[in-house]
Amino acid sequence: MRRADTPDDLTLWYDSPATDWETQALPIGNGALGAMVFGGVGGERIQFNEKSLWTGGPGSDGYDFGDWTSPRPNAIAEVRAEIDRDGKVSPAAVAARLGRPRRGFGAYQTFGDLWLDMPGTPGAATGYRRELSLRDAIARVGYTSDGVTYSREYFASHPGNVVVGRISADEKGKVSFTLRTSSPRSDRRVSVSKGRLTVRGALADNGMRFESQVQVITRGGTRTDGTDRITVAGADSAVFVLSAGTDYADVHPAYRGADPHARVTSAVDRAAGKSYERLRSDHLADHRKLFDRVRLDLGQRAPAVPTDRLRAAYTGGASADDRALEAMFFAYGRYLLIASSREGSLPANLQGVWNDSTNPPWSADYHVNINLQMNYWLAEQTNLAETTEPYDRYIRSMVAPGAKTAREMFGARGWVVHNETNPFGFTGVHDWATAFWFPDAAAWLTQRMYEHYRFSGDTEYLRETAYPVMKGAAEFWLDTLHTDPRDGTLVVSPSYSPEQGDFTAGASMSQQIVFDLLTNVLEAAKELETDEAFQAEVTAALARLDPGIRIGSWGQLQEWKEDLDDRGNTHRHVSHLFALHPGRRITAGTPESEAARVSLTARGDGGTGWSKAWKINFWARLLDGDHAHRMLGEQLRGSTLDNLWDTHPPFQIDGNFGATSGMAEMLLQSRHDTVHVLPALPSAWPTGSVTGLRAWGDVTVDVSWRDGEADRITLRAGRTGLLRVRADMIGGGYHVLDDRGGTLDPGRDGDVLVIDAQAGRSYTVVKEITRDRPLDEAPLR
C-alpha cells in the first residue's frame, strides 16, 4: 500500500485501525476543513469539521459579547483602592464585582461523520497498515483480504477547498461500499442526486446556516442514489470529494455573510471536474511548497515499529528510534499548523481544526492567556509565515468589539480582550474566578504581529496591518495604568498571575507584557516615522512603568511585586518568565536569567502538555540544551497520545506547536539582532543538520554540526545590512565564502562574526579544514 516515495522517517504508521477519535485517528486538514481518518477494515469512519461552525454569538439567546449589560460606576476603581489598601483581593471577590455569567458564548461544533460501509464481513485482513505521511499530507489505509489488496488515500486540498478520498483494489470490480453521513445534532436535511449527497441545515442555537456536499465518482461498476446514501457496487475504484461551509463572516456585530450553498457547490463541482491525479498533484505541490522548506536530521532512521510502539518505547536516550520520534514530532507540529491555519480560514483553535463533539473541552475556543499565542510560536522561525494570515485577520476583527469593551468597561481608548474569546467578538468577561480577568491579552496578541515584521522586514505589513492594532492595544494601557502608591510607578491594577494567587497590583507577567507592547510599538512608530505625540506618550509611560522583574529572597524571579513566591509551588503556569520567553527582555547570562532558572527549577519538570512545551522554550532561552531536551522527553513520554497529539489532558494542540517552537529555539535564536546558531544544542543530538530556519532580519539559515559543534552555516540574506552571526565554531578556525565562490574576511568579536550582507546573497561559514574532516566531507545532510 505504501508508495515507494513515501519517506518513512516522517510517516506516522500503525498496524491496526483506530477505534478512538482522540488518541488514535489521524488528522488531515486544509485550514478551514479538517477530517479524522479511522481506517477500519469492514467500514471507514471519517469525522469532519469546518472551522466556522459554532454555536453562540449573534442569534444565540442573551449574547452580549461579554460586556457589562448595565453601568458599574467606579467598580474597577474600588477594586484598585482595596488592593492599594490591603495589597490583595481574593479572586472570588473580584469576580463578584467585575465578572458576569457568560451568555451565548457557544462552542465549536463537529460537522458530522462520513461513513463508508463495506458489504459483508471481509475475511481475515493481512498486511494491514494505516499511515499519515507528513511530507505528502496524505492519510493511507491498506490491507489484503481474500487475496485482494485494498488501498485508500485521503487528503484535504487547500487549492480546492475539498477533502478527497480514493478507494481502490488491485483486482477489477472489487470496490463496493455505501456512503452515508451522520451527525449528533438533529438540525439537518439530507438529499441525494446524481451521485451527490447534500446536507443542509441551521444550528438551533443561533440560526447559523451550514451545508456540506459529497460527490462520488466511480470507475467501472454501478453507482446508485438512495434517499440519504449512495451505493457503489463492483467498481474498479471510486473517488469522493467533500466540501462544507457556513454563513459565518468575521464582521462585527452581525458575524453573518452569504449562504454557503453557492460556495460549497462551486468547490465540489470544480474538484469533481478534475481527475484524481490532478487533485492529488495540486495538493502535493501546495503542501510541499510550505512543508519542504525546513528539514531536520538528528541522525534518525525509518522506524521499524508502528508509531504507537515507537512512542511507548521512547526513553530520550541515544537510540536512532528516539531521534526518529523527536524529528517526527518536530515535523508534526509544522504539519499540523499547515493543516489547521491557511489563508481565508479562522486561526487554529485549541484543537486546531479537529473536533468530534458538540460540547468540546473549553469549547475548543480561543484562550488568549497563552494558548492562541503558543499556536503560532513556531510559524515564523520554522518558515511558515503564510499560516499567520488567519491569526492577523482574527486579531484585527477583535478591534471593533474590543474597543467597545475598553470604552464601556474601562473608559479607555484602544481595545481589549480578556481570558478567552470566540469567533463572534467576545472581548468582555465571565465569572470563573481564576480565569476571567486578563486584559493583558490584547497586548500579548500583538507581539506575534510585530515579530512578523522583525522576521520579514516588511514595512508595508508593519504600517498597514500590525501597527494600527499595536497602537490601539497600547492606547488602552496608556489610559488604564495605575500609579502605585507604594513607589509611584505605573502598574496594572487589578492584575492577576494565571491561574493562581490573589489579585494584586503589578503582577510580574502583566508588567512584562505591557513593557513588551510599549517597547515594540515605540520601535514600530520610530521605524514608520509617525505619531510623534504618541511616541512621547509611550516614552513617558515606559520611564515610569514598573519593570515587573525582581529577584526575590531565595534567588527566584518574583511572580508578584511583593515577594510572595513559595519554593514548593509546582503550578503549571510559569507566567512570570514571560520576559524570558516569548519576550526578549531577559537574556542568558544575566542575574535575571539566573533568577528565572531558580524559579523554573523550583516549579519542576511536570505540568500539562502545553506547560511542558513552554518549558522547552524557557530552557532553550537559558541556553541549557540538555534541560530543554529533558522537557521534550517529558512531553513525549507523559503528554503525547498515540497519534502524537498533545494532551493537556484532554487533547489540546498548543503543546504540539509549542514543542516544535522549543526545538527550533534549541537550534537557532535571533531576538537580540544576532543570529545565534545552535544556542542550546543538547548532548543527545551530537551530529545533525537543519535547513530553512528563519531569523530576525529576513535571514534563512542552514546548519550542519558534528560532535556538538557547527561545521557549516549558510545564511541567505533577504535584506542588505550588517549580519551578526554567533556560533561556537567562530572561536576557532573557519572560512567565510559567498555564493560566488569568493572568500570573505568579515569582522569578528569573540564568537560573533559581522558580515556586510547584500540582499539575495548567501554566505557560508565553514569550520577550518582538518586532516580527519575534509571540506568536501562536510555537506549539509
Q: Which stretches of 84-125 are assigned E, i.e. beta strand?
A: 112-117
Nearest-angstrom CA–CA distance, 440 and 473:
9
Residue 3: per-residue pLDDT: 42
Residue 498 pLDDT exceeds 50: yes
DSSP state letter for 315 = -
Residue 537: per-residue pLDDT: 98
Residue 124 pLDDT exceeds 90: no
- pTM here is 0.96
Tell me the average pLDDT of the chain: 95
Per-residue model confidence as pLDDT tens digits over 82-111: 999 999 999 999 999 999 999 999 999 999
Residue 409 pLDDT exceeds 90: yes
Residue 6: per-residue pLDDT: 44
Q: What is the mean pLDDT of residues 478-504?
A: 97
Task: Output the nine-digit C-alpha cell for 477.
Answer: 494601557
Query: Can you spell out the DSSP letters for 550-599?
Result: -B-TTSPBPSSSSS---TT---S--GGGTTTTTSSSS-TTSHHHHHHHHH
φ, ψ for residue 411 (rounded to 5)? 65, 35
Nearest-angstrom CA–CA distance, 635 and 655:
8
* 546 close to 561: Cβ distance less than 8 angstroms: yes
Residue 741: per-residue pLDDT: 87
The b-or-e profile of 740-756 (16+ CB within 10 A means b, else e) is: eeeeeebeeeeebbebe
Q: What is the mean pLDDT of residues 503-527?
A: 98
Question: Given pLDDT bands bounded at 50, 70 and 90, which one contains residue 121?
Answer: low
Q: Which amino acid is at 480?
A: T
Per-residue model confidence as pLDDT tens digits over 567-614: 988 888 899 999 999 999 999 999 999 999 999 999 999 999 999 999
Cα three-residue angle 203-117-33, rounded to 5 degrees: 40
Question: Given pLDDT bands bounded at 50, 70 and 90, which one contains residue 332?
Answer: very high
Question: Given pLDDT bands bounded at 50, 70 and 90, which one contains residue 770?
Answer: low
Neighbours of 83 (CB within 10 A): 23
Share above pLDDT 70 across residues of the chain, in percent, rounded to a whole number: 97
* 745 close to 736: Cβ distance less than 8 angstroms: yes
Is residue 8 classed exposed, middle or buried when 0-12, 13-18 and 19+ CB atoms within 10 A define those classes?
middle
Per-residue model confidence as pLDDT tens digits over 231-275: 999 999 999 999 999 999 999 999 999 999 999 999 999 999 999
Q: What is the mean pLDDT of residues 735-739?
A: 94
φ, ψ for residue 227 (rounded to 5)? -75, -30
Nearest-angstrom CA–CA distance, 300 and 433:
47
Residue 8: per-residue pLDDT: 78
Nearest-angstrom CA–CA distance, 43 and 122:
10
Residue 2 pLDDT exceeds 80: no
Residue 293: per-residue pLDDT: 98
Is residue 406 classed exposed, middle or buried when 0-12, 13-18 and 19+ CB atoms within 10 A define those classes?
buried
Residue 767: per-residue pLDDT: 93
Per-residue model confidence as pLDDT tens digits over 530-566: 999 999 999 999 999 999 999 999 999 999 999 999 9
* Helix 625-638 with 654-667: angle, nearest 10 deg: 160
Task: Output the nine-digit C-alpha cell for 557.
Answer: 524571579
* 690 close to 717: Cβ distance less than 8 angstroms: no
CB-based contacts of 389: which residues, under 8 Å, 6+ apart?
342, 343, 344
Counting every residue, how long is the chain?
A: 781
